[in-house]
Structures are given as structure tokens and as C-alpha cells.
Structure 1
Amino acid sequence: MQISERLEALLVPAGEHMAVAALQRYFAPLPAGGFTGAYFERLGGGGDRPDVADTFTSDDIVAVSMLSVTVPASAVLQLLEARGPELGGLLAKIPTDVALAEITADEVGGAWPVRDVYRELLAIPGIGETTATKLLARKRPHLVPILDAVVTAELSVVKGRYWVPLHAWLTADECAGHRRLEELRSAAGLGSEVSVLRVFDVLAWMVGSGYVPEN
């Protein structure tokens, strides 16, 4: 993963006004402006609220559609019915109250419980990397970042290797990256329901999609 010059320009103090403008544009209420993705984490009270945190629900399916993803009907039945209990058991091993920057580099390795759910999601026909990360981000928004084609291109992600390098960037220099994203979230007037990972994701996506003019 490489922070592009265009994205870096939003993350440094001198570019804060551009970053705030991009975030406010993305999360502006519809229909006056904004994007449907602004409702991804908020729909139905969130996918990580206690009563549904360990279960994929129909709200989660609708939420990922806010991010331009359509889950095939056969895959929906696997998520909600056939494989629901199995996936729920795996989700139960992943905390909801821990941020990615709060765990160690070793914890993000091969034994990370998030990877078990990720592999099981990919095993469902019709669910690829983008859909799997969006479903996981819905259930554990503070732990799992979204990875789609735009973010992959903007950050030069190689073969899906994203979680470890992103964790390294967030935690470097006493979590400077994490703290900077918190500052931008606050400056944009967003609540804590929008994770710092989503702040990063939205900024990378807005830059990669051409919504942020180059200065």
C-alpha cells in the first residue's frame, strides 16, 4: 500500500480544508447532495449494534447496496439462512469495541479471527473481495477496512494485501495516522459511528473517483 500524493495532500494539515470538504460532500444528506454510501454504517442503527453484531441481517444486505454492491439472491440465502449460524459463531470471536489501530501487528496476522470470516464469505458463490470486505466493514466498522477497485488503484494495493500495511500506517509514530483521521472526522462534523477506517476509505475513494480537484 502506498499513500498517493493526491491522498497525502488531504491528510496533511495544509490540505485539511479539502479533506473536510470531501467528507462533508460525501456524507451530505440526500436528496440535497451526498452519496448513498453515507448511509452504509447508519442504516438500521448499524451492523455492529449488540443485538445483531454476530448475525448477518437483511439490513446488512441493503447497507452494502448503498455502496453499489448487489449480493446475489443465492448468496443472500447462504448469509441469512444456510450458513448464518456458522458465520455468526465466527463473528462472535471478533470484538466490536476495538479499533484496528488498537491491536498489534501480530494480531493482524494469519490467526486474526477476521480472516476466518473473510475466507468463509469468499467461499460463497457470488461474493468476491469487495463484497466480503463491505460485509465485514458493516459488522466490524472499526476493525475492517473496505477494499474495492477504486481504493486498490489509488493505494496501489498488491494482491489484496491491505490490512497489514494499513495497520502499519495507522499505528506508525504512536498512531499518528489514526489520530489524524480522528481529527478530520471531528473537523467535518461527523459522529463516532463513522469509523476512522471509513474516513480513510471515503477520502481515498473520493480522490480515486475524481471528486477531489487537484491543486
Structure 2
Amino acid sequence: MNVPAQAAIRLLGRDRDECSQLFAEIPMGVELADADDALIGPDSAAAQLWKLLRFRGRSARKGAGLGQTTTSKLLARKRPHLLPVWDSVVIGVTGQPHKGSWHWLRDQLRADDRALAHWVRNAAPPELNDISTLRLLDILLWMTGKQKGANV
């Protein structure tokens, strides 16, 4: 994951406390399928953090914000059960843009008595049991996308 220098300086400097506070408000261990709108809605700490990482300072200095893929990877790394990686390969496979992806994927994971979530868990070999359902799904989507020649 490549973080532009200006963005790193901003996130480790003037926006450090706000980032830390927002991360603290996003619970660890909550599965996306169990998340309500308070956790992933437009007024949630996760959405505020997304905006902080993406846009703060972008108009003032080029490179002070993070791209969509880098932002999703950073959030997914910190909250692997709740926030998905959403990149060009995943978009190519799912047909879903970044905007609204958290709600869309949550609904997919809840549908049919959580059939997708169960399938993903059952498809994984036992040695991957400690990896979150979202990370496993990301791996499966990537493998599918790469086989179909999706953009990286």
C-alpha cells in the first residue's frame, strides 16, 4: 500500500488525534453482517474516518488525501471484520462502486440466512480459520477477478 508523503505527514501530524479518536469509536471484532447503520452509515465514525483519510487537505496540497483503494485497505487492515477492501478488481467482479459498498456487501452477507458468509467460511481451508470472513471473501473475489483479467 502506497501512502503519499503529504498524506502520511498529515495523518501522523495535525490529524493524528482525530484519526485515533475515530478509530477508537469503531469497534473491533464486529462482523459487517452484524453491523447496523450506526456503524457504517453516513454519520458513523467509519464514514467520518473515510472522509478524513480521503479528502482532508486535498484541495490545499496535492497528495494530502488518500485514494479510494488505499483508504479501503487501511480501514480493512484496522477493522478486518467490519470494513472491506474495495478496489478495481472487486468492483470489476461485483459491479458495485465504492459508494454504498459497505451497505451493499452487508446486505449480501445477510441475505438468505447468511448463505454467502457461510459459503465463504466453508470454502476456506481450516488453516485460514483465523482470517475474517471479509478477508476470505476479498481473496475469493480477487482470485475470480484475476482469472477474468480484471484491472489491478
TM-score (norm 1): 0.60
Residue 36 of structure 2 corresponds to 104
Q: Take 2:147 and 2:53, find their aligned partners in 1: how far apart are those partners?
A: 31
In structure 2, the CA distance between the partners of 1:209 and 1:123, relative to structure 1 (3 Å rule), is: same
Cα deviation per residue 1:17-47 (whole Å; 9 max; x = unaligned)? xxxxxxxxxxxxxxxxxxxxxxxxxxxxxxx
Aligned partner of residue 189 in structure 1, secondary structure: helix
Residue 82 of structure 1 corresponds to 14
Cα deviation per residue 1:148-182 (whole Å; 9 max; x = unaligned)? 11111111113533111100010112222222222
Residue 94 of structure 1 corresponds to 26
Residue 99 of structure 2 corresponds to 160
Indicate if the aligned counterparts of 2:26 and 2:39 stay in contact, CA closer than 8 A.
Answer: no
Moved over 4 A (4+): none
Contiguous gaps of at least 5 residues in structure 1: 1-68
The partner residue of 1:204 within 126, 141, 146 is 141
Shift of 1:80: 2.0
Shift of 1:91: 0.8
Indicate if the aligned counterparts of 2:53 and 2:65 stay in contact, CA closer than 8 A.
Answer: no
Between the aligned residues of both structures, percent identity stands at 35
Indicate if the aligned counterparts of 2:7 and 2:66 stay in contact, CA closer than 8 A.
Answer: yes
Shift of 1:206: 1.3
Shift of 1:101: 1.1
The letter for the 2-side match of 1:179 is H
Shift of 1:126: 4.0
The letter for the 1-side match of 2:135 is R
Shift of 1:97: 2.0
Aligned partner of residue 128 in structure 2, secondary structure: coil
Residue 195 of structure 1 corresponds to 132
Shift of 1:209: 1.3
Q: Take 1:159 and 1:95, find their aligned partners in 2: how far apart are those partners?
A: 22
Indicate if the aligned counterparts of 2:35 and 2:82 stay in contact, CA closer than 8 A.
Answer: no
The partner residue of 2:72 within 125, 133, 139 is 133
Q: Take 1:173 and 1:126, find their aligned partners in 2: how far apart are those partners?
A: 38
RMSD of Structure 2 on Structure 1 (CA): 2.0
Larger RCO (CA under 8 A, 6+ residues apart): 1
Indicate if the aligned counterparts of 1:105 and 1:167 stay in contact, CA closer than 8 A.
Answer: no
Aligned partner of residue 97 in structure 2, secondary structure: coil
Residue 122 of structure 1 corresponds to 54
Alignment: residue pair count: 142
**Higher-helix-fraction structure:** 2
Q: Does 1:148 align with 2:87?
A: yes
Q: Take 1:94 and 1:106, find their aligned partners in 2: how far apart are those partners?
A: 10
Residue 33 of structure 1 corresponds to none
